[in-house]
Amino acid sequence: MTRTRRPAVAGTGRRARAWRLAAMFAIVAAMVLAGSGCTVIPVTGPLNLNEAGSNDPLSKPFQRMIAILPQKTWGLEQTLRGLQAAMAAYADDPTVLPQYLTPEARAKWNASGPVTVIEDDSEVVLPTAREEPGQEQKVTLKGRWVARINEDDSYVPTGGPWEGTFELVQVQGGGYRVKSLPNGLLLTHADVARAYRATNLYYLNGNTRDRLVVDRVRLRLRPTETYAHAILQRLLKNPTGALQGAVTTSFPPGTKILSIRSDERVVINLSGPIDTLDPSTEALLKAQIRYSLNKNEIAKGRTIEIQVDGEPYSVDQPNSDDQWLDDSSDTAYYVTKGAVHYMGKDGPSVAVPGPAGEPREGYSGYALSKDGTQIAAKTSTGISVAGLTAQGRWQEVIQGAKLTLPTWHRDGSLWTYDQENSVLLRYDPSSGKAPERVAAPKLTGLDVTRLRIARDGVRVVVMTGENTVQIGALTGEAGGTMLGNFQLLTTTTAGNKILDVAWSDDEHLLVLVGSKAGQTLNEINVGDGEVVGVPLNDVNDPVTSVAALDDRVLAEADTDQSTKIYELNQDRQTWTVKIESDAGSPLFPLG
């Protein structure tokens, strides 16, 4: 594979820029004919047909793969590598790949379906038998499996060996064609890094539509459109399977993007059945666009003007003050001798008001509501709730000897899983009614040991046994609410044990794992499985629990005589002891 720089071509204006692109591709095509399979040309950003310039602030850096036709002089391995290059270029130019296939294979092979992603250093295993003219040759490609990109653009990490068999046949005049191959596109990790971008899209929570929920996808960039256009085009479609039925959108069916342009401001022209007289629709649509662009570092700090069929519709000023990603109170708490205390920035503080601030035994697994006015705890007979006021009192609201630790929903309801009866329970303090059952058929028969609702009120982490963590979502509305859409997030090997899980923000989950070799703390993106390790070098004692809210991470460590609380510093590498002794169970509201 060769790499070339984009040739410089004189000229200005729209017509000159178009000629410049045409000349660039012509020169590259001439250069690669002497090569062996492909070339990569750097493009400063996905180019918009209306502004095929080079420094569009709505774009992302991009390199386009140019594949060439199979050559008469190529052997089996060169042909297979050329086929791989044609697959990498297929989305931009689908005409080259079929030239690698026999008519029979061309009729059977289908590019649709999940994209398989393997490591870059794959191995081609050639047949050992002597080659005869016209004889079919089976060639095996071996590598390590990295991920799968589904048709809904979700990115699913995988692992282990990958192997694919390709049948090639020599053709008259020289060279080979592929007679049989697996369906779908096969890309390398480098192909995906070059042409795809991890992208956060923002939808509305299903019930109240008062908060945005992030949906992470891998978008394939194209040289004919800006990254901003790719983001909004995908936002008009359904969310990934992880959030199907759990979120909604403000864009009515039939909405289209007519154009996106930028100077001092970003101007987005839409068309479709948008109710331009409904102020609630305007607010929702504006929020989805703003966060989907700005959270991906597009249009950040600039005014966004939205038009409908060319007519002014809405203007979104930079740094608008709203609560679309509001989580909860950022007050931290901890427990000492059974009494719940506030935790100041510098360490311990006073006890909370009411019975929760009084020392007592037999209460554990404390959880705080969104506004920090109610606290729940597990006892030997069930789950009790108390208000954080001087007049508050503990009241058992859910009975059961084998319940998971309580978790609050942002709507004020309290949840737990009844392990003995395999039932998910929801208690609404405002209703005065007994706890209701919520359908969760995929959990039946599983050893559910932990359940925590994310602060977005949609995603739910479920831990089964000591080794497996899944992410689900609450779908449906009112009486039709259901916990489903489960996807495996992580597992541990035999001998390891997951000690705790905690939401840090809408996208990330902290997973604490213990083993004979020590402990690890990982922050995992629940949208694509990306893992970032959090060092525990400064924590000299075994960690038993963690709590987090955005950039703040607290950990309880168990010493020989007592417990202490550490806080992760802003460098995300070192820890500081915040409370020296008799302090544990750090917690934030929700999460």
Mean pLDDT of 52-71: 73
Which segment of 129-143, 299-313, 485-499, 544-558 scores lowest on mean pLDDT? 129-143
pLDDT at 66: 87
Report d(CA 161, CA 545) in Å as an integer: 35
Structure confidence by residue, pLDDT tens digits, 287-342: 999 999 999 999 888 999 999 999 999 999 887 767 888 766 789 999 999 999 99
Strands 508-515 and 518-525: antiparallel
Whether 266 has a pLDDT exceeding 90, the answer reads yes
Q: How far apart are CA 268 and CA 253, in angstroms?
A: 18
Q: Give me the mean pLDDT over the 147-166 stretch.
A: 96
How far apart, in whole angstroms, are the C-alpha atoms of residue 461 and residue 407? 11
Which band of pLDDT confidence, cut at 50, 70 and 90, is reported for residue 388?
Answer: very high
For 109, the token pair is 């092979």
Confidence of residue 131 (pLDDT cuts 50, 70, 90): low
Interhelix angle 227-235/279-294, nearest 10 degrees: 130
pLDDT reading at 390 higher than 80: yes
Token pair in block for residue 189: 């990790």
Across 511-516, average pLDDT:
95
The pLDDT of residue 551 is above 80? yes
Average confidence score pLDDT of the chain: 88
State residue 133 phi and psi, 5-degree precision.
-55, 130
Please name the helix (run of DSSP H) or strand (run of DSSP E) that holds residue 161, with its range, or none.
strand 161-170
Domains of the chain: residue spans and CATH:
2-194 (no CATH), 202-316 (no CATH), 332-587 (2.120.10.30)
Tell me, what's the pLDDT at 345? 80
pLDDT tens sequence across 220-232: 998 888 999 999 9
Residue 34: pLDDT over 70: no
- pLDDT of 237 above 80: yes
- In angstroms, rounded to a whole number, what is the distance separating the alpha carbons of residues 355 and 390? 8
* Per-residue pLDDT band at 566 (split at 50, 70, 90): very high
Checking if the pLDDT of 44 tops 70, the result is no
Bridge partner list, 39? 2, 66
> Does residue 114 have a pLDDT over 90?
yes
- CB-based burial label for 406 (10 Å; 0-12, 13-18, 19+): buried
Among candidate residues 436, 421, 322, 417, the one with its CA nearest the CA of residue 365: 417
Q: Residue 90 pLDDT more than 60?
A: yes
Give the residue-averaged pLDDT of 97-116.
96
Band of pLDDT at residue 150, cut at 50, 70 and 90: very high
Token pair 């035999």 is at which residue? 494
Specify the pairing of strand 247-248 against strand 196-205: antiparallel
Please give the pLDDT value at position 213: 97
When pLDDT is averaged across residues 550-562 and rounded to a whole number, the result is 93
Is the pLDDT score of 547 beyond 50? Answer: yes
The predicted structure's pLDDT at residue 426: 97
Q: Give mean pLDDT, residues 172-200.
A: 95
Give Cα 180 to chain centroid, integer Å. 35
Residue 333 has which token pair? 């708490």
Q: Give Cβ neighbours of residue 521 (< 8 Å, ≥ 6 apart).
A: 510, 511, 512, 513, 533, 534, 536, 543, 546, 555
